[in-house]
Amino acid sequence: SKERSLSLVEFDLERAIASVKAGEPVIPVWLDSIHRSLASRLA
């Protein structure tokens, strides 16, 4: 459902922010994961 996808993105965002605070280069992986989830939802 759309609500479940949104909550999944929010969870990934929180995890990405936590990784950034820890000094990990996470953004490219995070963007790729969002792109894949959007593509699968639109397919």
Q: What are the residue ranges spanned by the domains of the chain?
A: 2-42
At 27, the pLDDT band (50, 70, 90 cuts) reads low
When the pLDDT of each residue in the chain is averaged and rounded to a whole number, the result is 75
Using one digit for the tens of pLDDT, what is the confidence trace for 5-21? 666 677 777 777 787 78
Question: In b/e form, how buried is each residue of 6-38, taking b as 16+ CB within 10 angstroms?
Answer: eeeeeebeeebeeeeeeeeebeeebeebeeeee
pLDDT at 35 over 70: yes
